[in-house]
Chain A
Amino acid sequence: MYRYDEFDHDFVQARVAEFSDQVERRLAGEITEDQFKPLRLMNGVYLQLHAYMLRVAIPYGTLNSKQLRMLGHIARKYDKGYGHFTTRQNIQYNWPALSDMPAILADLASVEMHAIQTSGNCIRNVTADHFAGAAADEVADPRPYAEILRQWSSVHPEFSYLPRKFKIAVTGAKRDRAAIQVHDIGLHLKKDETGALGFAVYVGGGQGRTPIIAKKIRDFLPEEHLLSYITAIMRVYNLHGRRDNKYKARIKILVHETGVEEFTRQVDAEWAHLKDGELALPEADIRAISTYFAPPALVARPEGDEALRLARLDSRSFGEWLDQNVVTHKHPDYAAVTISLKGVGEAPGDASDSQMEAVADLAERYGFDEIRVSHEQNLILPHVARADLRAVYDSLVEIGLQTANSNLITDIIACPGLDYCALANARSISVAQEITHRFASLERQRDIGELKLKISGCINACGHHHVGHIGILGVEKKGAELYQVTLGGSGDENTSVGEIIGRGFGPEDITDAVETIVETYLRIRLDSSEIFLDAYRRVGQAPFKEALYGSEAKAA
């Protein structure tokens, strides 16, 4: 993975010193809250319901053991013993004191981490496929490009005060696991007919109160033009993006209002005089960054097949975990492992200090020192020998992280919601908890099959409900929580925005509604190979509407 050079170290240290000074001056009353707020936001410090919140950047979700251990240490020393992994592949702490921020940032800097640009109207943490560098279906590792974008966008003077926040995601496989079409810019790394690397460029996607699917404005951008072309997009946005209305300030609105053709023309016009200038990426630089992401030396471990055959016979629960949470690796003797942070009754994405440390130990011992955070709020060990999977599983059992539910109905994305968030209108975690209890039976979950359920506690859609196969949006109505259900959303290569099925449900009825939807699907599916999303796309809303509201529709 990427290692800081001298410049990076100096840059982060300087920022820690600068922000520490700002915190001290704030606490001493030398600067006002109005002056301080934009400064703290630039350093990932929010004020939430119960306390401050610190959001720490995990570039493209990649961590080493030392870093994950430090995240656990921070949870224990400065927080309440846990952290929350987010859909931006970051981690949030819910309880840190403002007065502890300098010490926390110093600890983070000691392991090459920081909280810069995790908030504010700038380019946020660039996300990537969590199986990058490991996935069997990958054309190339997207992370070197994410790292190039990170370096280029860090305190970029021209793009630090954009009309609104800006999110970029990169995938290196056709199967999109990074939800690139609901990003401000989505990049799909691929090869042309000559074998050269480049990107399909998508612009203007996003969720929030106005969900829009990104438009592809270029089918193949050669890799050397990555920065010049993105700069051209950013310039058009920075110039024409709306600053008069916060709700219309994202690039998706600009692309929508300008029209894709005209927007593309403006980008191309800007690009024409940037293209062959200083932003052109030298081949040597791309390769130099890429060497940081070279795969570990994966020695042959052919004994894995036999070991797994025996382990399956020995333990049914291991076999289920293997089926559900382990995916094919580029190397036939290895696998990528999803460590689910979605146990029954747990808050999606939360991990305790000791769990973080235990996962760090596992990565060190069995995983070539690498951990990923997925945007689906799980942890990943991207390179594990198949022969070691049983040992990894047994260790996960010891720390309660053996839940075998990857991509099943209880593998829920949920924002912190009204239990923590100052912007939320309704709780998300409690809904997720109740649904995981209702569908706790793994046998039942596996019978239902792949089903992505996503919950947001307000229209900002941090819980990605618009792209949930089943999406749940919490709103406040007459002082109470109400949950609106959308069906048919998807955040993959066939992205779609879920459609509202009808009137919302109260907190006591929402789990029943989900169960009704699931039972309806089980009744109408062609066979067990037709997953929920495909069945919904085939039949549409009607049978679900009928099942949810039938009697009342007739009464009316």
Chain B
Amino acid sequence: MKILTANRLSDGEAVWYAADGTWAEAIDLAETVADKLGESRLEAIGKAAYDNDEVVDVNLIDVVVADGVIRPTRLREVIRAAGPTNRTDLGKQARPSARHA
């Protein structure tokens, strides 16, 4: 499975492309795709958002979905989705809405 991620231009916040067509601040809301067709669609959306100056550093990343929870396969993306592991009081993991995988 893949999801589309980027950083928001104005403040650098890590964001994921969500099924409702917005860039969500939580990975839980990311739209997952399972085939090349879906990947191409997300890539096109990412390019358009980049060209439109909404986001930067756009990437498709690998994830696994287990029990409805999206988990990136690379530790880098796990940390990006949560925040620094040495400061669990900071980043997305510290937000009331954060869901802990």
Contacts and interface: CB of A to CB of B under 8 A. Distances in A.
Nearest to B7: A47
B10 A51 contact: no
B69 interface: no
A481 B80 CA distance: 16
B80 A50 contact: yes
B86 A419 contact: yes
B10 A27 contact: yes
B14 A50 contact: yes
Contacts of A486: none
A476 B75 CA distance: 9
B30 interface: no
B12 to A, nearest CB: 4
Contacts of B7: 47, 51
B76 interface: yes
B13 A51 contact: yes
Nearest to A432: B86
Interface in B64-101: 73-76, 79-80, 83-87, 90-91
Most A Cβ at <10 Å: residue of B12, B13, B50, B76: B12
B84 A99 contact: no
Nearest to A424: B76
Interface of B: 7, 9-14, 50, 52-53, 56-57, 73-76, 79-80, 83-87, 90-91
A49 B85 contact: no
A512 interface: no
B80 A98 contact: no
A47 B76 contact: no
Contacts, number: 77
A347 interface: yes
A99 B11 CA distance: 7
Interface string A24-35: 001101001100
B15 to A, nearest CB: 11
19 contacts: A26-B9, A26-B53, A27-B53, A29-B52, A32-B53, A33-B50, A49-B14, A50-B80, A50-B84, A50-B91, A97-B10, A97-B12, A99-B11, A419-B79, A419-B84, A427-B85, A430-B85, A430-B86, A480-B75
Nearest to B73: A479
Secondary structure of the B contact surface, majority rule: loop
A77 to B, nearest CB: 15
A429 interface: yes
B90 A97 contact: no
Contacts of A419: 79, 84-87
Contact of B12 (A47, A418, A430, A481): A47
Contacts of A429: 84-86
A19 interface: no
Given A33-B56, A47-B57, A98 B10 contact: yes
A355 to B, nearest CB: 15
Contacts of A479: 73-75
Nearest to A419: B84
Contact of A52 (B12, B75, B85): B12
Contacts of A427: 79, 85
A418 B9 contact: no
8 closest Cβ pairs, A-B complex: A97-B11, A51-B12, A419-B84, A52-B12, A29-B53, A429-B86, A49-B80, A33-B56
A98 B7 CA distance: 11
A50 B11 CA distance: 10
Given A49-B14, A426-B75, 15 more contacts: A26-B9, A27-B10, A47-B56, A49-B80, A50-B13, A50-B91, A51-B14, A97-B12, A98-B9, A98-B12, A419-B84, A425-B76, A427-B79, A430-B85, A476-B75
A476 B86 CA distance: 19
Contacts of B52: 29
Nearest to B78: A418
B62 to A, nearest CB: 10
B88 to A, nearest CB: 11
A80 interface: yes
A439 interface: no
A505 interface: no
A95 B84 CA distance: 12
A51 B11 contact: yes
A97 B11 CA distance: 4
A293 interface: no
A433 B86 contact: yes
Given A98-B10, A98-B12, A429-B86, A49 B75 contact: no
A420 B90 CA distance: 12
A104 to B, nearest CB: 13
Contacts of B13: 50-51
A460 to B, nearest CB: 15
B10 A99 contact: yes
Most B Cβ at <10 Å: residue of A48, A50, A427, A429: A50
A480 B72 CA distance: 12
Contacts of B80: 49-50
A442 B27 CA distance: 43
A95 B14 CA distance: 11
B68 to A, nearest CB: 22
Contacts of A347: 86-87
